[in-house]
């Protein structure tokens, strides 16, 4: 194996290791997946605002609305998206979705 090929191989291995370490870093939302299931039917929209601040976007429907919080980590290489759906009347969380994707759009 030539020295150039060996150096290139080593560099690629190091870069992949850095990407993997960044993807495995801590969530900007905390231990979200461990706690959200317990919060369904209990967490209010106001509590969510206190915890994560203003959402990135709101999608309002007739009976429910969904708030999206989006965070970047690992120098923008990982996008985390937290969707919480609340009922309009009591403003209590009815469901959630959480995604963490490397190299997100």
pLDDT at 1: 55
Task: Kindly list the distances between the CA atom of residue 55 and the CA atoms of 32, 45, 52, 85, in Å, as whole numbers in the listed order.
Answer: 16, 10, 8, 12
pLDDT at 46: 97
- The Cα 79–Cα 101 span in angstroms is 5
We find that the CATH architecture of domain 3-102 is 2-Layer Sandwich (3.30)
pLDDT at 50: 95
pLDDT at 4: 72
Domain ranges in the chain? 3-102
- The Cα 66–Cα 59 span in angstroms is 5
Asked if 63 and 88 touch (Cβ cutoff 8 Å), the reply is yes
- Show pLDDT as tens, one digit a residue, over the chain (105 residues): 566 766 666 555 555 554 444 444 545 555 676 788 889 999 999 999 999 899 999 999 999 999 999 887 766 677 888 999 999 999 999 999 988 777 555
């Amino acid at each position: 194996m030539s020295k150039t090929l060996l150096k290139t191989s080593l560099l690629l291995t190091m870069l992949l290791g850095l990407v993997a370490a960044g993807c495995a870093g801590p969530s900007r939302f905390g231990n979200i997946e461990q706690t959200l299931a317990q919060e369904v039917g209990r967490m209010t929209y106001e509590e969510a605002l206190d915890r994560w601040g203003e959402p990135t976007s709101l999608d309002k429907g007739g009976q429910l609305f969904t708030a999206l919080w989006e965070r970047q980590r690992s120098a923008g290489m990982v996008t985390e998206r937290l969707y919480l759906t609340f009922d309009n009347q009591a403003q209590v969380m009815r469901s959630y979705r959480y995604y963490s994707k490397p190299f997100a759009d």
